[in-house]
Amino acid sequence: MKLLPILPHSVVTRPHNESWCKYRPRRLLSPFIPGCDGSFTSCDHFNVRKHHNAPVFSAVPGKFQLRVDLEDFDGFRAYATYSDFKLEGEDQKYTLRFGSFTGGTAGDSLSVHKDQAFTTKDRDNDVSTDNCAEFYKGGWWFHNCLHSNLNGEYLKGKHNQFPPGRGVVWHVFKKIPYSLKVSEMKIRPQI
């Protein structure tokens, strides 16, 4: 069964440190889905709800599996999978929901962020006293602050930037300070 990309980024095509509106799901989806221009009607066949306050991927009954694919600058690839994925609507700040980590060679760097609202530089929804998105230069489901951030700025591998957690981060796969080359979040109906 084909996986639907929801946050596909590679090399230098990745957005980072954007405002709330730039991260809305349809805007994330539209560049990567043929025939989807980001409007409500053109993305309907991908089961993205028409009403922006509805859960984003719950128009079809059933559960979804989330798969995160990663690649470092040495060409090593890894993945992580999660059960029961759901992304809440805008009225719930696109809160990240899932059941549990179900395996993969990348390890689990997302469970720390489970049930967190999405934070951007202009909407601080994390539990830290700082705005994690502003501090780490990218919107994400931050808790206090990160164990992963696939929307971080694009740095090339091991770096000496401050703070060390800047970049495209999946801490269990590559320890901080390291920024990944490729990251992609994809969903499919759960089997």
Q: How confident is the model at residue 25 (pLDDT cuts 50, 70, 90)?
A: low
Q: pTM to 2 decimals?
A: 0.76
> What tens digit of pLDDT does each residue of 5-21 get?
555 544 333 455 566 55
Compute how many other C-beta atoms are within 10 angstroms of the C-beta atom of residue 40: 12
| Max Cα-Cα span within the chain | 46
Domains defined for the chain, CATH in brackets: 4-189 (3.90.215.10)
The helices-and-strands tally (H runs, E runs) of the chain is 2, 10
Compute how many other C-beta atoms are within 10 angstroms of the C-beta atom of residue 39: 10
> What tens digit of pLDDT does each residue of 99-138 get?
999 999 999 999 999 999 999 889 999 999 999 999 998 8
